[in-house]
A and B are shown apart, each in its own frame.
Chain A
Amino acid sequence: DVKVTQSSRYLVKRTGEKVFLECVQDMDHENMFWYRQDPGLGLRLIYFSYDVKMKEKGDIPEGYSVSREKKERFSLILESASTNQTSMYLCASSFLGKGETQYFGPGTRLLVL
């Protein structure tokens, strides 16, 4: 079974703090993705990576950065957290190629005060 894990289920941070969210997958997938999920808006892609050290912006990259130093690990960084970044963050991974299924982690619910 594919397993995607995220470092925290719940996080509470202060405005201006630097926040790290980590994701690890154990299926040797080339692609990894970070989404945020907000009520009524669905899943929106923040960044994705198709290889180590490679990254591409998604639909809403502003205020975020990412790091992929190892194939199995993809980190999302909020350089200076703001209250409008309060959300559910979901990581996913898939094999390279069109039409490949994405497998999701359990999510991190982030509250920025």
Chain B
Amino acid sequence: GQNIDQPTEMTATEGAIVQINCTYQTSGFNGLFWYQQHAGEAPTFLSYNVLDGLEEKGRFSSFLSRSKGYSYLLLKELQMKDSASYLCAVNPNDYKLSFGAGTTVTVRA
């Protein structure tokens, strides 16, 4: 089976930086996704990494190290609206995604 691990909860202050780690052990690798999910809403796509390195998109960045089976999502200049669950998902083979349990980020004023 596939194994995707991420912390359950994180809390940070408005304006701060938070780093959400994700480690994976999967049968194959065709890329790693990060999704954001606000309470009661659908997950929405944030980023996709297939090669090693850092991808930056505004306040959000995602990093991948395939040799270490490791990724992180970096959220900078935190805003209250960033309070959500962040889902790490790996595409091990064909079309399917294997998801971690998600990390709930709470931003405090």
Contacts and interface: CB of A to CB of B under 8 A. Distances in A.
A98 B91 contact: yes
Nearest to B88: A42
Contacts of B93: 98
A98 B31 contact: yes
Interface string A40-74: 11111100101000000010000000000000000
B109 interface: no
Chain B facing A: main interface SS: loop
A103 B45 contact: yes
A58 B102 CA distance: 19
B96 A43 contact: no
B42 A105 contact: yes
A76 to B, nearest CB: 16
A58 B87 contact: no
B30 interface: yes
A: contact size bracket: 20 to 34
Contacts of A99: 30-31, 48, 50, 91
A90 B43 contact: yes
Contacts of B101: 40-42
A48 B96 CA distance: 8
B40 to A, nearest CB: 8
A10 B107 CA distance: 28
B97 A98 contact: no
Interface string B26-50: 0000110101000011111100101
Given A42-B100, A42-B101, A42-B102, A98 B95 contact: yes
Contacts of A105: 42
Contacts of B95: 31, 48, 50, 94, 96-98, 100
Interface of B: 4, 8, 30-31, 33, 35, 40-45, 48, 50, 87, 89, 91, 93-97, 99-102
Closest 4 CB pairs of A and B: A98-B30, A42-B101, A104-B42, A99-B31
